[in-house]
């Protein structure tokens, strides 16, 4: 039977176990970061936020917000994979 932990053969069992323990906190923190990235993106597009904000109607913050959202999505995926490995081992 193929185990998901085989994908992480570069790690010793001790290191893999330590990584698996941080899966849930990573997901929670990154969800918050992704929400902030969405807010930054929407402020850059002039959809939400006060007009006096330095982010309001600023094209740079549209890009920054998208980058934060993409990074958050990658990290949520990483956290989910770590949780799945923990459940299957």
pLDDT digits (tens, 9 = 90+) for 55-76: 999 999 999 999 999 999 988 8
Query: Does any domain span residue 54?
Result: yes
Structural contact between residues 34 and 68, judged by C-beta atoms closer than 8 angstroms: yes
The span from the CA of 7 to the CA of 2, in Å, is: 10
Tally of structural domains, the chain: 1
Query: Does any domain span residue 39?
Result: yes
Q: Which domain does 44 fall in, by range? A: 35-89
The span from the CA of 47 to the CA of 43, in Å, is: 6
pLDDT, one tens digit per residue, over 20-30 is 677 677 778 88
Query: Does any domain span residue 58?
Result: yes
Task: Say what the pTM is.
Answer: 0.69
Distance of CA 43 to the CA centre of its chain: 20
Query: Does any domain span residue 41?
Result: yes
């Amino acid at each position: 039977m193929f185990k998901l932990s085989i994908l992480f053969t570069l790690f010793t069992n001790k290191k893999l176990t330590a990584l698996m323990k941080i899966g849930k906190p990573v997901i929670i923190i990154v969800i918050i970061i992704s929400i902030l990235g969405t807010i930054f993106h929407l402020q850059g597009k002039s959809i939400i936020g006060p007009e006096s904000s330095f982010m309001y109607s600023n094209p740079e913050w549209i890009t920054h917000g998208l980058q934060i959202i993409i990074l958050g999505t990658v990290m949520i995926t990483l956290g989910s994979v770590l949780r799945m490995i923990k459940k299957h081992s």
